[in-house]
Amino acid sequence: MVERNSRGKGQVVIRMKAIQYTANGDATVLQLVERPVPDVGPGEVRVRVVVSGVNPTDWKARQGSGSGSLAAPQVPNQDGAGVVDAVGAGVTRLAAGDRVWVWDAAFGRPDGTAQEFVVLPEFQVVALPAGASFDLGASLGIPAMTAHRALTTLDGGPDRLEPGALAGQTVLVAGGAGAVGNAAIQLAAWAGATVVTTVSSPEKAELARKAGAHHVVNYRIEYAAARIREIAPNGVNLIVEVAPAVNADLIAAVVAQAATVAIYATDGGDTVTLPIRHYFLPNTRFQFLSTYTTSMDGKANAIQALTDAIADGALTVGEDRGLRLTRFPFEQTAAAHDAVAAGTVGKVLIDVAEG
């Protein structure tokens, strides 16, 4: 709830609720505070946040992964969706009242989406297509932009996905029930690929099928390499990989000629041993990626592709599309972080305000 507090005669300070931390640590460092609603400057957009999305990098950053001391109180969470509240001078693409989603809110900045209002540069605020929910908007950002980057790493492949862009390609998505895996399945299928995914349980297999995977392999009950080779006798052209240390042998067994392995996470360990000689003749390409440092052209291509896929009805969220949503009220942001850290299947969302 936004509150107005007087500060001297005729001066009113509008305050809002926010979650912040002033030191790295476990979820107990997160505090619910009141702070002034931020002003909007030239080229900036202020968004009233309705839903904030939580990603693994959010809780890892809070713990201090790869960072030093905090320069200022940090509001967590990169992704979110809401309504434009105000725009600064020079902003022409958006206007107050527009429904939007935001990305990389807390990357290199102290202000993420776990607050009632966030101010961002215009290019980090994207209009939601008609009919798209705030839940979908808050689930895009890191997962969907990572998936798009992974799916556009093929040598000679497309820079931007669209219908037919991956026609004739076989894509293997490791971990098809996760947020990135779900987005990769939906986007690859939309772009015309044959999509294979690996999962670890019948429950996750059902989620992957709902996302649109053409073939689902449960590696706990099937010999995954043989099954994938049965599906794709010439191998798979592109692997969207979440756990290279665990899947190294599988990767070696299923890559096609000139295949690309797009690695976006290190689940199962951050050190991998590869049989290097195996990859010479097939000209296998390993592409490590992070959506945070993707080029601006790459980000622009992803945003346009996601917008088109949503408009086509090809990218959405919810149990019926294979991405289970787990919700927390704003005051339980710490519990939401812990849920992601514990490996909750699907997407964790925080209800910051009513839509």
CB 81 within 8 A of CB 349: no
pLDDT of residue 300: 98
pLDDT digits (tens, 9 = 90+) for 205-224: 999 999 999 999 999 999 99
pLDDT at 11 over 70: no
- pLDDT class of 2 with cuts at 50, 70, 90: low
Closest CA to 173 of 183, 165, 159: 183
- pTM for this prediction: 0.95
Q: List, in order of start, the domains of the chain with CATH numbers.
A: 3-139+323-351 (3.90.180.10), 144-292 (3.40.50.720)
pLDDT of residue 306: 98
Q: Which residues contact 328 (CB under 8 A, 6 or more apart)?
A: 335, 336, 339, 348, 349, 350, 351
pLDDT at 303 over 80: yes
- State whether the Cα torsion 133-139-141-147 is positive or negative: negative
pLDDT of residue 66: 61
Q: Which residues contact 106 (CB under 8 A, 6 or more apart)?
A: 58, 61, 74, 75, 76, 77, 78, 112, 113
pLDDT of residue 13: 74
* One-letter amino acid for residue 9 of the chain: K
CB 80 within 8 A of CB 101: yes
CB 124 within 8 A of CB 69: no
- pLDDT class of 72 with cuts at 50, 70, 90: confident
Count other C-beta atoms under 10 Å from residue 33's C-beta: 15
CA–CA separation, 39 vs 31, rounded Å?
22
pLDDT of residue 327: 98
pLDDT at 8 over 60: no
pLDDT digits (tens, 9 = 90+) for 231-288: 999 999 999 999 999 999 999 999 999 999 999 999 989 898 888 888 999 999 999 9
107: DSSP letter? T
pLDDT of residue 126: 98
CA 303, 343, 72, 36: dihedral to nearest 10 degrees?
70
Supply 5's token pair: 């507090």
Count other C-beta atoms under 10 Å from residue 90's C-beta: 10
- pLDDT class of 68 with cuts at 50, 70, 90: low
pLDDT digits (tens, 9 = 90+) for 107-138: 999 999 999 999 999 999 999 999 999 999 99
